[in-house]
Amino acid sequence: MANVSPKPLWLLSSDAKKYVASCTVCQFTKPGQRKPAGFMIPIRPQKPWEHTGVDFVGPFPCTPCGNAYILVFVDYFSKWVEVSAVKEATVFHVLTTLGSEHRLTTAYHPQTNVTERVNHSLKTAIRAYVGNKNTAWDRYLPQICFALRMAPHESTGHSPSLFLYGQELNTPLDIITQPSCDGTDEPGIPYPESLESSIREAHDHARSILDESHAKKKKYYDQRRQPVSYSVDELVRVKTHPHSDALANFTAKLTPVYAGPYHITQKLSEVNYGLTDVNTGADAGVFHVVNLFLLAEMPEEVSVDSVDHLLII
């Protein structure tokens, strides 16, 4: 750009900037410098099991029972965890059996699925339990789950069991040391009414704490983000996430940073967009705005004959 500034031409500086910005090779190979896009849109469930995160963890070494994966369910409201050791990762069969609506997280942006944090905790706990017995990991899932249900969650400061049942779970030591219960929490109050009251109070408390937690997380999350919006039919490129493969002589460092071009066909929310491949017309899936970048099209050619006057720069 510095080399063209002194030349007595039309508004070449402006045209040159547009031309360079629209270079196809540059747009697909140079990393973007913008602030990450997309503000947080928290999911705010109002009761237990209104929203449930589902995921598979694995594969693990095959156990004597033939299990290789862990099917994980997490309640967005109480953070209660349910897991099951399974032989195959077939989530479609699971959701069809349960009659649940399947909502996918966007590619390379799984923050909306709360099971990501639980998956990490599960793998850490399994590593601590199994030692060198790598094929016995499924034996320890009940103990690990019990610990997760009893531990205070970082978002609420309370255990999942308290928010789901209105009381803490009894440990083996509690069963031995606590006096037997006659079915009444308080004198003169029938147990069903007492239980209903404690659960209702726990849920009200959970909603209040979750709203406060969501507001705090959104505040700090949005400080590091910027709002970016696209329109239907705009051309975009999508950030790639390749992995190097030494055996195939493939290195991620030398691959294009973006893929595309893609057309935006749907605006599903303020941060999620549906795309189609421009070249094939095939559905490319749903992507979060953090992975989308506008594709600048090459400007029309400008000739000196078509310019009314020249400007000396």
- For residue 275, what are the domain limits? 9-39+228-294
Q: Are residues 80 and 211 in the same domain?
A: yes
pLDDT, tens digit (0-9, with 9 covering 90-100), for 86-117: 998 877 777 777 776 666 666 666 666 678 88
Give mean pLDDT, residues 241-248: 81
Same domain for 125 and 18: no
Distance CA 262, CA 295 (A): 9
**Is the pLDDT confidence value at 25 over 50?**
yes
- Provide, rounded to the nearest whole percent, the portion of the chain with pLDDT above 90: 27
Question: Are residues 59 and 136 located together in one domain of the fold?
Answer: yes
- What is the Cβ-side half-sphere exposure of residue 73, based on CA atoms within 13 angstroms? 16
Domain identity same for 76 and 115: yes
The CATH number assigned to the domain holding 128 equals 3.30.420.10
Same-domain pairing of 81 and 204: yes
Helix locations, the chain, DSSP H: 12-21, 24-29, 91-98, 115-130, 141-150, 160-165, 172-177, 191-223
pLDDT at 80: 93
Q: Are residues 16 and 32 in the same domain?
A: yes
Are 216 and 238 members of one domain? no
Same domain, 29 and 168: no
Are residues 213 and 65 both part of a single domain? yes
Q: What is the tally of structural domains in the chain? A: 2
Shared domain check, 67 and 165: yes
What pLDDT is attached to residue 176? 75
Per-range mean pLDDT, top range of 172-186, 222-236, 287-301: 222-236
| Same domain for 119 and 64 | yes
Q: pTM above 0.85? A: no
In this structure, is residue 311 part of a structural domain? Answer: no
Residue 312 confidence (pLDDT) above 50: no
In terms of pLDDT, which residue wins out, 263 or 193? Answer: 263
278 and 224 Cβ atoms separated by less than 8 Å = no
The pLDDT, as a whole number, for residue 277 is 94
> Does residue 145 belong to any structural domain of this protein?
yes
Question: Are residues 239 and 140 both part of a single domain?
Answer: no
| Higher local confidence (pLDDT), 23 or 66 | 66
